[in-house]
Amino acid sequence: MTNYERIEKAIGYINTHFKDQPDLDEVARQVYLSPFHFQRLFKEWAGVTPKKFLQYTSLAYAKQLLQQKHSLADVSFEAGLSGTSRLHDLFISIEGMTPGEYKNEGENLRINYSFAETFVGDVLIASTDKGICHISFAKNQDEELITLRGRYPRALFVQRTDLHQQNALQVFKNDWKDLEKIKLHLKASPFQIKVWEALLKIPFGSISTYATIAQDIQLPNAPRAVGTAVANNPVAFLIPCHRVIKSTGLIGEYHWGSTKKSALIGWEASQSFGE
C-alpha cells in the first residue's frame, strides 16, 4: 500500500465512521501503521492532524442538521458527540461562534453596508456596531450584496456609511498609518485569526508565501490549511491576502481573479519605490 493509498483509505474510513468518533489508534490500524507514523504521514498529506480532520467532518455534518432546524441536543447525538458542550466547543474552536449563533444566521444583528469607489474599482463594505465584517470588490454590486446577505440570512441590512467604514476606506487611499483606528468584527476560528494576523504583518509592497505563513504561525506542515484560511478572508485588501503567492513564484488563486491580484501587488510595489 502506497502512502497515497493509506491516506485515501484513512480519509474514507473517517468519513464513513465519524459518528463513532474513532480515535487515532483505530484509524491507524486501518492502514497498518503505528499511531505515531500515521499521524505524521496524515498531516504531511492532508495538512491537518487526523483528529482535526475528524472534527471538520463532524462539524460539516452538524451544520447540515442545524440548517434543517434540528435541536442542539439532537445534532450532538446524530454527529456522534457526547453532548451539547462538545458541540459548543467544536463550533468555537473551528468556526469562532457558538452553534446557536450559527443556527440563528445573524438574527438580531444590524449590518450597515455601502458601496465605495476606490482606485481598484467599487468595493462593498459592511460593518456592525463592533467593526468591519466584510469588504469585497464589487464588479457586480447586486451579486456581491447577495453574497453578503447569504452569510447573514437573518440580519437586518441598512444601506448606510458609518465611522467604521470611513476609517477602513482610508487604506484604499494608501493611508495605512492609522490601522489601530480600524475595528474588525469577524466570525472566525482561532486558526483563521492566527493566519489573518500573520497576513497583517506582511509589509506594504512586499509578498510572502503560504509556506512562509505556515512557518510564521509555527505550523510548517500546514501550508494547505493556511491556503484555505487565506481564501476565506472576508475583508479584501485590508487583510492583505493578495500579498501571498506560491513558493514557486506563481501568483496563485485569488477570489477576484489572478489579474486583480497581480495588479494589486504591482501597484503596491510601485508605491513603495516611489514610481
My answer on whether 54 and 17 are in the same domain is yes
pLDDT digits (tens, 9 = 90+) for 157-188: 999 999 999 999 988 876 666 667 788 888 77
User: Of 104, 124, 152, which marks where a domain is finished?
Assistant: 104
Pick the closest to residue 180 from 188, 189, 170 (CA basis): 170
Sheet holding 156-159, edge to edge: 132-137, 121-127, 110-118, 156-159
Query: Can you list the positions of beta strands (E) in 129-224?
Result: 132-137, 156-159, 208-209
- Give Cα 107 distance to the centre of its chain: 21
- Cα–Cα distance, 154 to 103 (Å, whole number): 10
The answer for residues whose C-beta is within 8 angstroms of residue 160's C-beta and 6 or more apart is 112, 113, 114
Exposure string for 107-137, b = 16+ CB within 10 A, e = fewer? eebebbbbebeeebeebbbbbbeebbbbbbb
pLDDT digits (tens, 9 = 90+) for 54-78: 998 998 898 888 878 888 888 888 8
The domain of 144 spans 110-181
241 is catalytic: yes
My answer on whether 219 and 233 are in the same domain is yes
- C-beta neighbour count of 50 within 10 angstroms: 25
My answer on whether 139 and 62 are in the same domain is no
Collapse the DSSP code of 215 into the 3-class scheme (helix H, G, I; strand E, B; otherwise coil) and give the result: helix
The answer for residues whose C-beta is within 8 angstroms of residue 120's C-beta and 6 or more apart is 137, 172, 237, 260, 263, 264, 267
Mean pLDDT of 244-262: 88
How many domains does the chain divide into?
3
Handedness of CA 99, 101, 106, 107 (dihedral sign): positive
My answer on whether 138 and 152 are in the same domain is yes
Looking at the chain, the whole-number percentage of residues with pLDDT higher than 90 is 42
Q: CATH number of the domain that 25 lies in?
A: 1.10.10.60
My answer on whether 114 and 100 are in the same domain is no
My answer on whether 11 and 93 are in the same domain is yes
User: Of 78, 104, 130, which marks where a domain is finished?
Assistant: 104
Query: Can you list the positions of beta strands (E) in 128-207?
Result: 132-137, 156-159
Q: CATH number of the domain that 230 lies in?
A: 1.10.10.10
User: Of 104, 122, 149, which marks where a domain is finished?
Assistant: 104
My answer on whether 20 and 96 are in the same domain is yes
Mean confidence (pLDDT) of the chain: 87
Q: CATH number of the domain that 162 lies in?
A: 3.30.160.70
- Cα–Cα distance, 88 to 189 (Å, whole number): 13
My answer on whether 14 and 88 are in the same domain is yes
Asked whether residue 224 carries a pLDDT value surpassing 70, the answer given is yes
- Confidence band of 95 (pLDDT split at 50, 70, 90): low
Selecting among 241, 244, 245, 265, the annotated active-site residue is: 241
Mean pLDDT of 13-27: 94
- Cα–Cα distance, 238 to 47 (Å, whole number): 27
